[in-house]
A and B are shown apart, each in its own frame.
Chain A
Amino acid sequence: MSIARLKTFALVGLALAIIAPVLQAQSTTGPTKKMKAAGIKVMMIESNEIKLPAEFQVSLYEDLLAQLEKKSGLKAYREGDRRADSAADLVILHTSVTGFKEGSERLRQVTTVAGATSINVHCTFTDASGKTLLEEDIKGKVRFFGGNLRATYDFAKKTAQLAHEHFSPAARA
């Protein structure tokens, strides 16, 4: 057997070793089954244990509403909105801040490696009766560009993506 053929075998084997686990993971996980939901009600962000500045709390809440409306395809309702009471298949999103590090925009711009802002939020999606449908910890951060409040936008985008992956107005459970 020539050296060239041996090299080819080795390369194919290496490629298979890399691709196989990915393919296996895909076949076992498969596409996520989406739960049916027509609307999502966002409750105000809670931060009982962590002292979160008011502007971050409000920014998290407003960014969440905007991103959910934009990305998830669900109708987003605000906390206390009476119209949500009559909505069928309503999902309620409860969020609680579990970690917060207010970085520094100045430090980020000067050093590019230090001064990151990060927010850890525990998200719980429940149905109208309070039964938990989905739970996940999501982190919002800003490392390089933008003000500290951009971390809330990062968190909102990730949460809206999560909602988009698990809930759909047309899906059947």
Chain B
Amino acid sequence: MVGRIGRSLLIGGAMVCALLLAQAQAATTDAGTKVTQVTGLSGVKNKTKGRLLVDGSNLNFTHEQLKVDVPVSSVEDVVTGNDSQRAVGGALGTLSMLAPYGGGRFLSLFRTKLDTLTIKYRDSDGGLHGAIFTMPVGKAELLKKDLLAMGAHTSVPTEAAEAMPTAKEQKQ
């Protein structure tokens, strides 16, 4: 009897966890990816944190009340890359440089990996813009795929697109 109760409790718990996870995933995809706009997006200050989302035919960046839309059709190039940043950053990171016995330098060894997404796009006057975003690892390639699916261009094809011709060649 006790075993049956325990088992049903376990199953119930697992189901609740799965539901919560699914909800959390849905929330991230609906709200967009957490990014930092490093530079280039018109009307947005450098190093602004916000959310980036491919919303229909627009690439949408939101930060609090600020909302910037870039038509995907105007995106001429999408390139992903990787970078890293200090695990302890900001004012605390700067203050840590004053720590005795090289404590600040020791902290500099700890870095978190980042993905970068670089886009080039044209404004309504034809002017060429470039924008750089950083985001958690693994997110940039997904955003790039979304952008390419909506009609953006790239000078560096995605891994899947690169792999396709090779598969065809192997068949022949």
Contact = CB atoms under 8 A, between A and B. Distances in A.
Interface of A: 44, 53-55, 57-59, 61-63, 77-83, 105-106, 109-110, 147, 149
A82 B125 contact: yes
A57 B127 CA distance: 16
Interface of B: 38-40, 77, 79, 81, 83-86, 97, 104-105, 108-109, 111, 116, 118, 120, 122-123, 125-132, 156
Given A62-B40, A110-B108, A54 B127 contact: no
Greatest chain B CB density within 10 A among A44, A53, A62 is at: A62
A106 B108 contact: yes
Nearest to B132: A55
B109 A58 contact: no
Chain A facing B: main interface SS: helix
A109 B111 CA distance: 12
A106 B116 CA distance: 18
Nearest to A81: B127
B81 A53 contact: yes
Given A62-B40, A149-B38, A79 B118 contact: no
Greatest chain A CB density within 10 A among B39, B122, B156 is at: B39
